[in-house]
Structure 1
Amino acid sequence: MTAARSVPWPTEGLSFGGDFSPEQWPREVWDEDVRLMREAGVNLVTVGVFSWALLERSPGEYTWSWLDEVLDLLHANGIAVDLATPTAAPPNWLLTAHPEVLPVDATERRERPGGRLGWCPASPVFRAHALRIVDAIAERYGRHPAVRLWHVSNELGGGNARCFCEVSAADFRRWLGDRYGDVEAANAAWGTAFWGHTYTSFDEVSPPRGVGGAPNPGLALDFERYSSDALLAHYTAERTAIERHSDVPVTTNFMVGAGSHVVDYARWAQHVAIPANDHYTLVDDPDRAEDLAASADRMRGIARGRTPWLLMEHSTGGPSWQQRNRAKEPGELVRNSLAHVARGSDGALFFQWRASTAGAEQFHSAMVPHAGTRTRVWREVCALGRALEALAPVQGAPVEPARVAIVVDESSGWALQAGLKPHRGLRYGHEVRAWHTAFWRRQVTTDVVPLDADLSGYDVVVLPSLFVVDTASAARISAVVDRGATLLVTYASGIVDETARVLTGGYPGAFRDVLGVWAEEFVPLQRDQHARLDDGTVVTDWAEDLVVEDADVVLRHVDGPLAGRPAVTRRAAGGGAWYVSAMLDQDGVQRIVDRVVEERAVPRTVTAPPGLEAVRRVRDDGSGVLFLINHRDDDVTVVASGTDLLDGSGQGPETVVPAGGVRVLLEAATA
């Protein structure tokens, strides 16, 4: 049952380490760094992310000596290297000579130097310079024994997700020509007769510039798709340059959250050897541990089981870019890291190794903090290193198959949050998180999967605000009911097709027949307005005026603008088809999930109160590795047996997981 792995993993055992920036420090610090890395159990570090200006001080003039020494030093100490191409940070000499490579925002203002990813993905000038340095680095280090993974650029799209310059506009027009063939097909898809915006040539098409306007929805959605493809084209160009000189696996670090939609990560994942992710919790998120779980489950869905994935970055404490950067509580560093491992990551890496004393992120937390090694953070880093070494038996083992899938699609996020909508404050990730949270609180393993995922193995399929859906996908999803699975669809799903054109006949047009209901009208609730359902559920933000044709009414509005009208319905066909037409509070979502879990006899990994996270990975011999992570302030007792890999203790038939603690039980193989 080990996940198929077509590429070698960069380390023996689980990977542990982080971004190492020796160029920021005097030479004498390097020896201390590798000594401390060995003390902590570090076996993989990312090197060179922001080093372009130091490696190439003028076009074609290279300085390799410092990087030669760093790679040799790491290799001599048994530490593998994830070598980055340095294209996230173009050097000032390039930006001075060619300011046209800087990206342009929607107001047609060109960005200024000083940030990162300060380049237009479509710029041929930038591409030429970038590929020169990538080719030179790959040629020099492609066979270096320390290099076990290549890391293209850094968080692509994190500063240049969209560029509105004329070069990008021309590239967008070319992309449209490839997609539609002729401009009349684009006119038909976008409905450009409205407002008289018909195009006679692709030369007349511009990106959706401006802020707060009303762009054509189809054009705006296509520009988002194009922007993702433009960045992907740059990634693949760098990857190709590397592969001319090296057979070491190539990846790049995603920024996958529960509902994030920077680029089309599901499509990108097909082009990386090892899917990798950066994840940072948000200080104003009351369920930070659940956000982490949703992100990890989505990474597993993106990886599609072909390989474990890798947590490339997270933080030991506070990051640097939030309004009030929160230090992590004692034990949280370890809990966060092992939660990612529980959900399929074969390692835990951080940004960064040693806290910087200068530069924009000088107050970002690190494995070696400003206060040094006489700190709780350092002690927890070392404890995590020991834990990951002890968890070697889990390497390569897949997460136990889930019976619940939540379907997420980038196009829905792009389309729902752009342009004029009945409620312009809706956020795509809201419903994803709400439904994932409800399953997480019941210790039900859930896959967060792309729209084109195989759904045949799931008993429950959830569509949270799947705003955009094509005809074939809608039919495939609806068919899960006929084979006996339960389909649960929330508001703002199936509203438009892949061109962002509204599906007529009543909302949600794509799923009207399988649900047995349709809505006459959207009824957005106003700011601070709320309504109640007959089980006490509170409704905010969104409701719909439903017409029930072939379904049972589960819940009704008891007050508000839709008093007496249906709110939640269930069609009894097949495995059952639910429609949740309103934004419910978390308790209301939980009640529906609890009913579905009971009806479908969906197994819980363990039975425990909310806040006890439980996930199992399954080894080749049939034995399980059960992760029990207690995010609560009190001890939790669960029925579970095995040997705790973290401390060697025998546990069972009941296991006590201490408040804020973690147990990882190696269970006996099942017959």
Structure 2
Amino acid sequence: MARTTTVAALSGTGQLVYGCDYNPEQWDRSVWDEDVRLMKEAGVNLVAVNIFGWAEIEPEQGTFRFDDLDAVMDLLAANGIGVNLGTGTSSTPAWLTTAHPEILPRTADGTARWPGGRQAFCPSSPIYRERALALVEQVSTRYGHHPALRLWHVSNELGCHNSLCYCDVSADSFRGWLRTRYGTLDALNAAWGTAFWSQRYSAWEQILPPRLTLSATNPTQTLDFNRFSSDELLAHYRAEEAVLRRTSDAPVTTNFMVAAHIRNQDYWTWAPHMDVIANDHYVDHRLEAPLAELAFTADATRGLAQGRPWLLMEHSTGAVNWQPRNIAKGPGEMLRTSLTHLARGADGLCFFQWRASLQGSEKFHSAMVPHAGTDSQTWRDVVDLGSSLGRLGELAGTTVHADVALVFSWEAWWAHDQESHPSGDVRYIEQVHAAYRALWEAGLTVDVVAPGADLSGYKLAVVPHLYLIRDEDADRISAFVRAGGSAFVTFFSGIVDENERVRPGGYPGAFRDLLGIRSEEFFPLHPAHPLTLDNGSPASLWSESLHLTTAEAVLRYATGHHAGAPAVTRNRAGAGEAWYASTVLDGGVLKDLLLRAAVAAGVRLPEAQSGLECVTRRGNGHDYVFLINHSTEDRKHRVRGMELLTAEAVADVVVVPAGAVRVVRTDTTESALPHTDGSPQGRKDAGHDRH
């Protein structure tokens, strides 16, 4: 298991981390001294080095050349800048793939993916593993006690491109994984439902990955292949980690990719093996609400860290290079997006990358030192952010507290988004984001938790679209409600167990009794033809033939062939209550219903203002109130204390200029935010903090 360390320790001073990816191999040595001088000017205290260094260090098999990396490590150490040292294994060198083309990954249609990009290897390849671990042994032996070393960085964004490999080596490894999971073929056949379509297996050698077929594939086979593939990459991480542990005492991690477009690693299973939880995140302009998604990923990363501070290992000063439209950040946006991560639990902010590349596929990706150089707004913003982190140093080690939990599952994502489901218009992550966005717009701070997490410290659990859930995890949510908590469940939840087997007796399966309802049938809707609810709002993409058993109807369908039937319900269950939404609700309606559920649960509601993001960190005997103004107008917020960015005392109200950020240290550990019970009368407390 992972060892305990803190993100702040990586700064070398116990303060907040400010850093970047540094690729000196792309530059002449004459640039290095200038790089370090500018790093010190910006306040950089941690840089990631040797992330893609394999071909530089080992230009041919068994021949190692460390002169350049030695010089870089020594230069950084001499200037008090720590190193997040990559093992260098994230991309194979040309000599390896030329000598052993069998290590190249294959897609579901059997075709190979060739060198020339990155991650050109099969995660199951013993040849790749052997050569990668030989490299790690060399790097860790040489630098395991170097004065610059503060953190080991295993590979890089494991599985970003090669998480699913369908080659024969992967097939053999998959069969070994299945033997361990099921023990016998009879157990596997039962779990996979192979009585369907004459798929029964009589020998392990008959089993393959879910390669491209003429029809739909077996959904449990596909789900297990996702599980196997996540475990296989984790196994590689742990193999590199084991080498590092033998030769060095420095903490070990890798950079996760908790983001809307990355789904192939189950990070709930990875997190316990990390000394520090680290994540990469880039604002995604392909989404309807990129800022809400940014907040979601930050909260999810904090969930992986079990509430402890975490490290943002990569984000961007401006545009990226891999979206259809790579939009640069506007005035103040870099500060706002960076401090959103800080507000939501990060103790370190790092960028990809230090100096913008002149060649390669990422040459138009933004950097701390852009192509325009230091006579640029980007560089001035970089220096300003470093100064801001210096003024916020006392936040290191403080944590975020929430009364609301949102249950999120990578397994459910894998299972839900397969083919042959009631509607291809409904995607798991979109429904998760819709629920989170409603909570975000309501100003509620949310902990993102795994199915089966302990919910006893929360007042409200939001369970969006949790198609797959184990019986014991569903029972835990039910027990939470019956003990006095509240749950808000959205449609297509609780439908199948961990083997993709439908729970009979009516939907929503595992949550039917808790919710006091029974649904006979799903009725997906065409995007262009929504229904109407009895409050006049639209019901889109999905509807159900829903019957009440012990629940009451909160909203009903007003149109369609089940007009008058319940659409949103509420049920008393033990000492708590459980809500159910059987359709895609208008965002405003969903927000209002979640606020009603929160108030009934005793959640303290902040005084939300449009465009003003408000999050509180707590520790050192203080609350630290982050106020991030995404709007084009000034906002006022009632709070008392010291504003840390401007060093100004706040007597009662702080003004947050348009596009600006304010961080107020309050005088007590009681929340300085005004709260409301949601009623027209105003500001009555609706409950107390669970802490």
Same fold (TM over 0.5): yes
1:665 paired to 2:664: yes
- What is residue 588 of structure 1 aligned with on the other side? 589
- What is residue 653 of structure 1 aligned with on the other side? 652
Partner Cα distance (1:171, 1:670) in 2: 52
SS at match of 1:513: helix
- What is residue 55 of structure 1 aligned with on the other side? 57
Partner Cα distance (2:18, 2:524) in 1: 47
- Asked if 2 retains the 8 angstrom alpha-carbon contact of 1:309 and 1:345, the reply is yes
Partner Cα distance (1:538, 1:95) in 2: 55
1:24 paired to 2:26: yes
SS at match of 1:669: coil
Q: How far is 1:59 from its partner?
A: 1.0
- Asked if 1 retains the 8 angstrom alpha-carbon contact of 2:618 and 2:669, the reply is no
1:436 paired to 2:425: no
Q: What's the TM-score once normalised by structure 1's chain length?
A: 0.97
SS at match of 2:77: helix
Flag as ranges the 4+ runs of structure 1 deviating above 6 A.
none
Q: How far is 1:615 from its partner?
A: 1.0
- What is residue 345 of structure 2 aligned with on the other side? 344
Q: How far is 1:7 from its partner?
A: 8.1
- After TM superposition, the structure 1 = structure 2 runs for residues 400-479 of structure 1, keeping only pairs within 5 Å, are 401-479=401-479
Q: How far is 1:586 from its partner?
A: 1.0
1:333 paired to 2:334: yes
Deviates more, 1:268-277 or 1:568-577: 568-577
- What is residue 547 of structure 1 aligned with on the other side? 547
Partner Cα distance (1:658, 1:129) in 2: 55
1:372–1:562 distance in 2 versus 1, CA, 3 Å: farther
1:212–1:578 distance in 2 versus 1, CA, 3 Å: farther
- What is residue 506 of structure 2 aligned with on the other side? 506
Deviates more, 1:566-575 or 1:625-634: 566-575
- What is residue 681 of structure 2 aligned with on the other side? none
1:497–1:394 distance in 2 versus 1, CA, 3 Å: same
Gaps of 5+ in 1: none
SS at match of 2:499: coil
- Asked if 2 retains the 8 angstrom alpha-carbon contact of 1:257 and 1:298, the reply is no
- Asked if 1 retains the 8 angstrom alpha-carbon contact of 2:293 and 2:433, the reply is yes
SS at match of 1:614: strand
- What is residue 300 of structure 1 aligned with on the other side? 302
1:624 paired to 2:623: yes
- Asked if 2 retains the 8 angstrom alpha-carbon contact of 1:638 and 1:654, the reply is yes
- Asked if 2 retains the 8 angstrom alpha-carbon contact of 1:459 and 1:600, the reply is yes
Partner Cα distance (1:565, 1:612) in 2: 38
Which letter does structure 1 place at the counterpart of 2:551? A
1:115–1:192 distance in 2 versus 1, CA, 3 Å: same
Q: How far is 1:560 from its partner?
A: 2.9
- After TM superposition, the structure 1 = structure 2 runs for residues 236-251 of structure 1, keeping only pairs within 5 Å, are 236-251=238-253
- Percent sequence identity is 49
Partner Cα distance (1:243, 1:316) in 2: 34
1:422–1:596 distance in 2 versus 1, CA, 3 Å: same
Partner Cα distance (1:340, 1:607) in 2: 21
Partner Cα distance (1:628, 1:657) in 2: 7
- Asked if 2 retains the 8 angstrom alpha-carbon contact of 1:212 and 1:419, the reply is no
Q: How far is 1:124 from its partner?
A: 0.2
Q: How far is 1:257 from its partner?
A: 2.5
Which letter does structure 1 place at the counterpart of 2:272? Q
Q: How far is 1:559 from its partner?
A: 1.4
- After TM superposition, the structure 1 = structure 2 runs for residues 263-282 of structure 1, keeping only pairs within 5 Å, are 263-282=265-284
Aligned equivalent of 2:106, options 91, 94, 104: 104
- Asked if 1 retains the 8 angstrom alpha-carbon contact of 2:286 and 2:323, the reply is no
1:214 paired to 2:216: yes
Q: How far is 1:43 from its partner?
A: 0.5
Gaps of 5+ in 2: 671-691
Q: CA offsets per residue over residues 55-94 of structure 1, 9 Å max, x none?
A: 0011110110000000111111111100011111110010
Partner Cα distance (2:39, 2:644) in 1: 22
1:530 paired to 2:530: yes
- Asked if 2 retains the 8 angstrom alpha-carbon contact of 1:289 and 1:631, the reply is no
Which letter does structure 1 place at the counterpart of 2:627? L
Partner Cα distance (2:61, 2:561) in 1: 66
Q: What's the TM-score once normalised by structure 2's chain length?
A: 0.94
- What is residue 615 of structure 1 aligned with on the other side? 615
Cα RMSD, aligned residues only: 1.4
- What is residue 149 of structure 2 aligned with on the other side? 147
- What is residue 381 of structure 1 aligned with on the other side? 382
1:150–1:303 distance in 2 versus 1, CA, 3 Å: same
Deviates more, 1:145-154 or 1:286-295: 286-295
- Asked if 1 retains the 8 angstrom alpha-carbon contact of 2:5 and 2:251, the reply is no
- Asked if 1 retains the 8 angstrom alpha-carbon contact of 2:121 and 2:128, the reply is yes
SS at match of 1:492: coil
Q: How far is 1:544 from its partner?
A: 1.3
- What is residue 487 of structure 1 aligned with on the other side? 487
Partner Cα distance (2:438, 2:658) in 1: 21
- What is residue 186 of structure 2 aligned with on the other side? 184
Partner Cα distance (2:323, 2:624) in 1: 35
- After TM superposition, the structure 1 = structure 2 runs for residues 26-45 of structure 1, keeping only pairs within 5 Å, are 26-45=28-47
1:204 paired to 2:203: no
Q: How far is 1:459 from its partner?
A: 0.5
1:396 paired to 2:397: yes
Q: How far is 1:442 from its partner?
A: 2.1
Which letter does structure 2 place at the counterpart of 1:370? H
Which letter does structure 2 place at the counterpart of 1:369? P
- How many residue pairs get aligned? The number is 664
Q: CA offsets per residue over residues 133-188 of structure 1, 9 Å max, x none?
A: 01100000000010100100111010111000000000000000000000100111
Q: How far is 1:601 from its partner?
A: 3.4
Q: How far is 1:5 from its partner?
A: 4.8
1:190–1:234 distance in 2 versus 1, CA, 3 Å: same
Aligned equivalent of 2:76, options 71, 74, 77: 74
Partner Cα distance (1:93, 1:409) in 2: 40
